[in-house]
Structure 1
């Protein structure tokens, strides 16, 4: 699993002449960060990095909040039409982005949000929360009713039950969703490519695809772009790896 990443990292610090002489699998004879520097400056990678972090972080937080509120109503509140709503959320996960792109493009134009980061944040928050709602509803559906009844006897309202009982118990699952939503949104390409036209609003994945499509980079710069594009997501995953592990194993042992 680490072999492709290691090859990319080695080629990212080679010079073009070194790459041409020894190929992609040869060790670099000298460490050069020129490819990384050239790519960073060419695409204004700092701005792209900020855009991706802002969009992915906002989507992760908003989608988790929406998922919790939806699942609280469906899993614990047991509102009318619960099954139909769950089916709707599942169907939302099956729709391809190609089928959504024109309606989203048209609506964003109509409300004046086209070519803004806010439009992408809204779209992916709704898309990701569909999966989060389905997952959390199955978790909260088995929430002990005795705890909820005891809280009501103590005078707790619906919001008190949500914030003081349901939220603390759901934190491990929400942590898993937070990591998944961030990485999934970071890797998105098609909808951001359509919705973000200006160079200053584009994300990392869009800038990589557009620049490589222009045949403007040599092999070392291509590897440098791949390394810079994937490294932030890997670092985020490593930082929250313990949270992800706790969330996956929670409930395995009572």
Structure 2
């Protein structure tokens, strides 16, 4: 059977059209997809479970021993379940150290340090990272070295300074010290972030007539809000957990923080384990609540730089 020329051209055109159509490649299944897991996946899962158990074990022991009586602890040890639910340890610690006052001191000190340190970090980083001051690299290195100094080195000079100006045994002495320490780290971090800030945005704001102060608070701070939120949360938690400097400079009972109050329960030869566990539980709850409240903010701030 012969094929006419028009039919041949139509056949070739149809074949060419089919050949020119983009073919969508079938997605390859990655190993482990489709319901099957590789042995390495199970190893990673088992390792994650072991690490989670090791991290949670101290908290579970604190929770378990906080509601025991001293007799239950002496009879069964730290791993035994309590025979009855007892709140004696919590009540004893609450009344002995005046826990509401200690809680307020810790919240006030940590909150003020977080706010002031973030504010000072913003101003320093704006001058160093965007203002392009001279020798900015050496200034950033100086801030980093200042943040690496051990606190023991600072105790005696700070003691003499606060004694001289009348701030010894005052919560503002601790606030000043930790504001400087935390802002050193914040300046080091934000200077690197602001150093890569897009110049086009700054030039557009300048063309609109915005001055430096307005550019800082109307442009830079809103854009860098996720990073600032992470710094605020970390500064609060880091300051809350500090022990040595508050122990040294807050000697009166009315000015002490929660970690210092917990340490005062430990006697020379005798320690009530149930009361100590209850004190650790009460000291842990505020930071845990704070973390849970700002968990979403912390997650957004950490992942903000990875998503464009």
TM-score (norm 1): 0.97
CA offset at residue 81 of structure 1?
2.3
- Bigger Rg, which one: 2
Distance in 2 separating the partners of 1:97 and 1:75: 28
Aligned pair partner of 1:200 in 238, 254, 262 = 254
Distance in 2 separating the partners of 1:159 and 1:220: 54
Distance in 2 separating the partners of 1:6 and 1:138: 40
Distance in 1 separating the partners of 2:154 and 2:260: 18
CA offset at residue 217 of structure 1?
4.0
The equivalent of 2:162 in structure 1 is 108
CA offset at residue 213 of structure 1?
4.2
Distance in 2 separating the partners of 1:50 and 1:126: 22
Aligned pair partner of 1:189 in 243, 264, 268 = 243
Q: Deviations over 1:217-253 (max 9, x none)?
A: 4111111111111221111111111111111100212
The equivalent of 1:240 in structure 2 is 294
1:148 equivalenced with 2:202 (yes/no): yes
SS at match of 2:83: coil
Distance 1:215 1:164, change over 3 A: farther
Paired positions, count:
254
SS at match of 2:266: helix
Aligned pair partner of 1:130 in 163, 166, 184 = 184
Structure 2 stretches lacking a partner, 5+ long:
1-54
The equivalent of 1:10 in structure 2 is 64
Distance in 2 separating the partners of 1:175 and 1:186: 17
Q: Deviations over 1:134-169 (max 9, x none)?
A: 111111111000100110011000011001000001
CA RMSD of aligned residues (A): 1.1
CA offset at residue 202 of structure 1?
0.5
Distance in 2 separating the partners of 1:2 and 1:141: 40
Structure 1 stretches lacking a partner, 5+ long:
none
After the TM superposition, list the runs of 4 or more consecutive aligned residues in structure 1 that deviate by more than 2 angstroms: 213-217
Moved more, 177-186 or 207-216: 207-216
CA offset at residue 86 of structure 1?
0.7
CA offset at residue 211 of structure 1?
2.5
Distance in 2 separating the partners of 1:52 and 1:118: 12
TM-score (norm 2): 0.81
1:211 equivalenced with 2:211 (yes/no): no
The equivalent of 2:220 in structure 1 is 166
The equivalent of 1:47 in structure 2 is 101
